[in-house]
A and B are shown apart, each in its own frame.
Chain A
Amino acid sequence: MMAYYLCLVLFCIGLYCVLRKRNIIKIIIGLTIAEYAVNLFFILVAYRIEGRAPIYSPDTQITNMVDALPQALVLTSIVIGLASMALLVGIAMRIYEKYGTFDITKIRELRG
């Protein structure tokens, strides 16, 4: 269970960064860290003690494979994470061009 708790701590670090920091790039970094933690949690749930990678080999019979379904889902999730992060960075760069700062409190002051 210790691995689950460490993974939870990693997620909480990302959550703290998203909630507390004022720099947009720091917020994106926090989101990335939280996303890593969630992906890692799925793979930790799928792990089996003394398991093997879910790949068949022609000569030997492998019976103790790890769970392949969360791996397939996380493979999708990683790539989607890259796309969403690219979109976030694009919006952040546009904000920097318009307001000249990454600070979210300054951006709120400059409304209008």
Chain B
Amino acid sequence: MVDLYVLLIFMIAGAIIAIEVKDLLSSVVAVGAVGLALSITFLVLKAPDLAITQLVVEILCLIILIRATIRKDLPFSTSGRWLLNSIITLAFIAVFLYVSIEALKDLPPFGYPIMRVAEVYLKEGLLKTGATNLVAAIILDYRAYDTLGEATVIFTGVLGVMTVMRRVGRKRQEETEKGD
């Protein structure tokens, strides 16, 4: 399990670089490194489908973020209530850490999942769905409505992006057409 810890520490280092570096493009590239390390981590944790999806999504994510940040300056302003903001943020994170460490004690230990629901899927998945890949069997058969909801969310997201990024409104276009 040494490789898992190496990858986790690499991801933490990449995340710290991503949020602390001054240049926005370097920051985006560091996030890309974190995402690719996450993809390898999924592979180590025996989730090959997730590794493939994460790889594709990470590259798309990188393209979108670079498109947003390229040739844009980054005016850094650290004036104002710097100390107060830092103290409030760190206090909030400390409270959050305390609560979540208390909550983690109730989880089963690492490497021994409970698998009460997944037991049925693992036992009867091949017979009932005929799919050898159980992840595909779950998302496309047992929980197909989840996938439908996912498609709806993506459709809404695409609609939102098109609405926000549209260059000219409909009224403006009609006016230009009249002008021509």
Q: Answer yes or no: do A and B interact.
A: yes
CA distance A86 to B159 in the complex (A): 11
Task: Assess whether A96 is in contact with B77, with CB atoms less than 8 Å apart.
Answer: no
> Of A13, A29, A54, A83, which contacts B153 at CB under 8 A?
A83
Question: Assuming A15-B93, A49-B111, is B132 touching A33 (CB within 8 A)?
Answer: no
Neighbouring B residues of A53 by C-beta, 8 Å: 46-48
Contact of B46 among A66, A82, A96 (CB under 8 A): A66
Q: Name the interface residues of A62-112: CB closer than 8 Å to any CB of B.
A: 65-69, 71-76, 78-87, 89-94, 96, 101-103, 105-106
Residue on A nearest B18 in the bound complex, by CB: A29
Interface residue SS majority, chain B: helix
Interface residues of B in 96-115 (CB under 8 A from A): 96-97, 100-101, 104, 107, 109-113, 115
B164 engages A90 (CB within 8 Å):
yes
Q: Is the beta-carbon distance between A25 and B134 smaller than 8 angstroms?
A: no
Do most interface residues of chain A lie in helix, strand or loop, or is the interface mixed?
A: helix
Quote the shortest CB–CB distance from B144 to chain A (angstroms): 11
Chain B, 115-144, CB within 8 A of any chain A CB: 115, 117-118, 121-122, 125-126, 132-135, 138-139, 143
Indicate if the CB atoms of A72 and B139 lie closer than 8 Å.
Answer: yes
How far, in whole Å, are A46 and B41 apart by their CA atoms in the complex? 13
Binary interface profile of A, 33-44, with partner B (CB < 8 Å = 1, else 0)?
A: 100100110011
Q: Whole-angstrom distance from the CB of A96 to the nearest CB of chain B?
A: 6
Q: Which residues of B contact A (CB under 8 A)?
A: 1, 4-5, 8-9, 11-12, 15-16, 18-19, 24, 27-28, 31, 34-35, 38, 41-42, 45-50, 53-54, 57, 60-61, 64-65, 67-69, 72, 74-75, 77, 80, 85-86, 89-90, 92-93, 96-97, 100-101, 104, 107, 109-113, 115, 117-118, 121-122, 125-126, 132-135, 138-139, 143, 146-147, 150, 153-154, 156-158, 160-161, 164-165
Q: Which residues of A contact B (CB under 8 A)?
A: 1-10, 12-17, 19-23, 25-26, 28-30, 32-33, 36, 39-40, 43-49, 51-58, 65-69, 71-76, 78-87, 89-94, 96, 101-103, 105-106
